[in-house]
Amino acid sequence: MIVRHTLPNGVRIVAESIPYVRSIAFGFWIGTGSRNETDEVNGISHFLEHMMFKGTKKRTARQLAEAFDEIGGQVNAFTSKELTCFYAKVLDQHFSAALEILADMFFGSTLPDEEIDKEQKVVIEEIRMVEDTPDDLVHDLLSKAVMGDHPLGFPILGSVENVQKFDRSRLENYRRQYYRPDQTVIALAGHLPDDFLDQIQKYFSGFSSGDDTPVCRRPVYHADVIVRKKPTEQTHLCLGLPGLAIQDPRIYALILLNNMLGGNMSSRLFQRVREERGLAYSVYSYHIAYRDCGLFAIYAGTGPGQENELICLIFDILEEIRESGVGASELNKAKEQLKSGYMLSLESTSNRMSRLGRNELLLEKHMTLDEMIERIEQVTPEDIRDLVQTLFTQPVSLAMISPTGEIPSTYRRDALV
């Protein structure tokens, strides 16, 4: 049973009671991320997330860490393009204590200047770490190539220059504008106490709105090329195509298509690129669904000099799936893998909590496992064919990091058009 409750100020609570476990995972989900930033403050969502751990009116940063350690709790946070989440997982007997600590962080963080100065150094090192990890960095470059100057193309971490300019005033203004009751969801899963709603209301009933939130504009798909020269041992490349928004009714067909194309070891990309031709150690596809758009991408890392052969092979595989579609047996295998993945993920209270939080913020609805399986089973080879004819007939974007910085001759924007 999933319980949904909305406080008078607009804060939504969504919870799933699992009486046979001894843990509780809960998170404070806020509908803001790098998508809500401007070029001048890109990275501020992520930096503010870091600063929420750096001391409150009641506790120093060290005392916050010690408070969770004393109850054996796990606490963390993350920032994405459209979401920020602060979450914890504790034994059921420590839920009240953990909720108070996380609420203290959420409402009482003082953003002290001395901690801002130290955390700027930490985040700058995090940015530099990504710069030294080309198989991570290339995905940021692809987002830029596909989204252009839209905030969805911004890196979540921001830039060194921006981080160096963040101060308490900017952080407080951003928090006041985007940390709003109507954009906040409290998600819980596990062995919940009978009064969990009362406990949450104790901390969140006084949460009030700040400034009005600007409306995010919808991005326009670009098919640009971004190539960076870097002294690497491999060439890291991503090819990008339009995807689907998270509420698109064809989303399960696309999830299954991704599974068959590059989502596992028996997928076409893995078998053809790695097993048959030995062109890459790591090769896969993925799909990211945003509120109003999506991105479908293929990544591979290959040795310098093999880029042309690799790209030519990837285009051949895309062309084959567009011309011939997929067979019933291949689709059934993908369905079984997808259903198993969903079912296995539900054995974790953390995964259940995350599913509740994301679905409430981005979909505002929750399907049962049976409903999800039915949606998966309803996908036909014809649905996959129609989807491929829509997505795999668009211009292709390219992001690449290589020792030469040269665009492979076999890459063409209009290769699938």
Bridge partners for 296 per DSSP: 241, 287
Task: Report helix, strand or coil for 405.
Answer: coil
Instruction: Count Cβ atoms below 10 Å from residue 404 Cβ, excluding itself.
Output: 14
Helix axes 168-178, 44-51, angle to 10 degrees: 100
| DSSP classification of residue 109 | B
Instruction: Count Cβ atoms below 10 Å from residue 72 Cβ, excluding itself.
Output: 11
Q: Catalytic one among 37, 49, 82, 115?
A: 49
Bridge partners for 59 per DSSP: none
- What does the alpha-carbon distance between residue 178 and residue 188 come to, in Å, rounded to a whole number? 22
Tokens at residue 74, please?
A: 């796990």
Active site residue 323: no
| Residue from 240, 359, 215 nearest 297 by CA | 240
Q: Which amino acid is located at 207 in the chain?
A: F
Answer yes or no: are the C-beta atoms of 29 and 185 closer than 8 Å: yes
Element (H, E) at 3: strand 2-6
Chain centre distance of CA 148 = 19
Q: What one-character-per-residue DSSP string does 232-279 give?
A: -SSEEEEEEEE---TT-TTHHHHHHHHHHHHSSTTSHHIIIIIIIT--
| Residue from 154, 164, 87 nearest 123 by CA | 164
| Residue from 125, 181, 149, 131 nearest 40 by CA | 149
- What does the alpha-carbon distance between residue 77 and residue 118 come to, in Å, rounded to a whole number? 19
Answer yes or no: are the C-beta atoms of 222 and 148 closer than 8 Å: yes
Q: Which residues are catalytic?
A: 49
